[in-house]
Amino acid sequence: MVEGSCLCGKVRFQVEGGFVEGHHCHCSRCRKAHGAAFATYVCTPVSGFRLVAGEAELTSYRSSPPVRRSFCRTCGSSFLFEHDAVPELMFVAVGTLDEVLPSALPIDAHCFVGSKASWWTIHDELTRHEQQRPEFGG
């Protein structure tokens, strides 16, 4: 089991059963939401995700029609991402996980490299998708 939390610690969650997919997202919305060059997400079946504290602190909004993002309203940590095309999956921002081994993170791609920050250079050999992953509709 993997545990995680927001920065202030009010919102805590657990993931059981591991992650099925992961990627670095370079879209402009993730860049704004995380205040960083890109966001790194791993996803788990919704059934494996459990909020264990701070449900009242969790705030959600739609950043685009098919996407819902959730953050802590006290500290602003952005950590959950849900996409209408894959409602069975919950995406978790990797930086909010507490202790996790690299081998537990199936991160295999960069997405939306077409809108990557001009000031960031990708330095690895992972698959690069110009937009989203093909399974989310290309």
Q: What is the 3-state secondary structure (H, E, C) of 10-25?
A: CCEEEECCCCCEEEEE
Site string for Zn ion, 79-118 (x = CB under 5 A): ----------------------------------------
CA dihedral 114, 18, 125, 138 (to 10 degrees): -30
- Cα distance between the two ends of the chain: 32
Q: At closest approach, how far in Å is the CB of 98 from Zn ion?
A: 14
Span near Zn ion by CB under 5 A; candidates 45-53, 73-81, 86-94, 122-130: 73-81
Figure out which of the listed residues 3, 8, 100, 104 binds Zn ion, where binding follows CB under 5 A: 8
